[in-house]
Amino acid sequence: MTKTRFLALITALALLLAIPTSVFAQNARPHVFVGTVTLDGVAAADGAAVTAWIDGEQVGATTASAGKYVLQLESTSGFPGSTVSFKVSGADASQTIAWEQGGADEVDLIAATGSGTASVGSDGATGPAGPAGQWGRPGDDGADGADGAAGPPGPAGSVGAAGPPGSDGQNGSNGADGSNGSNGSNGAPGADGSDGGGGLGVIALIVAIVALLAAGGSYMMGRRA
């Protein structure tokens, strides 16, 4: 055993002897750890935090001095069957050791920055509700909603007033000409003329023909009308 380790054990034993016997009667005897402290390959600076942890809960703390530490773990019932781990300035040390009532061990701690894990505390109790704040300004209008479903048909309305008369329609086109009527019956023979010259007989014949044509024309005009 080197001189340094011998002095560390002597220091641990001195701490144990300095504890009053009345304390031993109430609490489990503590486990004392001593040794060097190395952080990122060099001795830890004076005042660097050295903490002990069991099952994620901090159970002891001290500070480094001249690259060394002395840490004493104690409680009313102790930590039987538990494994103690260490952190240096929040960085995990690679060394662990089983807790032992009344134990005294030299544990040289070696840690590297960035290897620590932050612990998250439990949520605190909800505080009382504060006073109501002032009303905020009205929000902007929201987008138009979709059209609703069509409702049932309403009752029929009353009959409206009669509209004004419509304008006259255009005249239709002329109808086609009717077919020619049948010839009229012959007129009655004219009275015999007095014996005259041949010229008067011809004139009487012409007048009779004109009268016949006039009668036929009047008949045809009547049929067309």
For 50-70, give the DSSP string.
EEEEETTEEEEEEE-BTTEEE
- pLDDT at position 153: 86
Nearby residues of 201 by Cβ (< 8 Å), 6 or more positions away: 193
The CATH number of the domain holding residue 81 is: 2.60.40.10
Question: How far is Cα 71 from Cα 92, in angstroms, rounded to an integer?
Answer: 16
Distances (CA, A) of 3 to 10, 160, 166, 169: 10, 123, 132, 136
pTM of the model: 0.43
- In-domain check, residue 176: no
- In-domain check, residue 47: yes
- End position of a domain, from candidates 111, 133, 159: 111
**Is there a single domain that holds both residue 102 and residue 9?**
yes
pLDDT by position in tens, the chain (length 225): 455 555 566 665 555 555 544 444 456 889 999 999 999 999 999 999 999 999 999 999 999 999 999 999 988 888 999 999 999 999 999 999 999 999 999 999 999 987 655 444 445 566 677 677 676 677 778 788 788 788 788 788 788 788 788 787 777 677 676 676 676 676 666 665 555 455 676 777 787 787 777 777 776 766 666
- In-domain check, residue 43: yes
Nearby residues of 96 by Cβ (< 8 Å), 6 or more positions away: 83, 84, 85, 86
Question: How far is Cα 109 from Cα 107, in angstroms, rounded to an integer?
Answer: 6
Nearby residues of 63 by Cβ (< 8 Å), 6 or more positions away: 46, 47, 48, 49, 50, 69
Question: How far is Cα 135 from Cα 62, in angstroms, rounded to an integer?
Answer: 53
- pLDDT at position 21: 46
Question: How far is Cα 29 from Cα 12, in angstroms, rounded to an integer?
Answer: 13
- In-domain check, residue 82: yes
The beta-strand segments (E) located in the chain are 31-39, 42-43, 49-54, 57-63, 68-73, 83-88, 91-98, 104-106, 109-111
Residue 70 sits in which domain range? Answer: 3-111
- pLDDT at position 84: 96
**Is there a single domain that holds both residue 105 and residue 199?**
no
- pLDDT at position 137: 74
- pLDDT at position 179: 72
* Nearest one of 44, 31, 46, 120 to 87, comparing CA atoms: 44
- End position of a domain, from candidates 71, 95, 111: 111
Domain count, the chain: 2
- End position of a domain, from candidates 84, 111, 138: 111
